[in-house]
Amino acid sequence: MRNPTDARLTALRALVRSHQGPITTRVVQNLYASRFGAGQWQGKARQDLAQLVGEGLLVVDDSDPGRRCFRIAQRNGTSQ
Indicate whether 74 pLDDT > 90.
no
Residue 20 lies in a domain: yes
Q: What is the CATH number for 17?
A: 1.10.10.10
Residue 79 lies in a domain: no
- How does the average pLDDT of the chain come out, rounded? 90
Residue 22 lies in a domain: yes
Q: How many domains does the chain have?
A: 1
Domain limits at 35? 4-72
The separation between the first and the last C-alpha atoms of the chain, rounded to the nearest angstrom, is: 34
With a threshold of 0.85, does the pTM exceed it?
Answer: yes
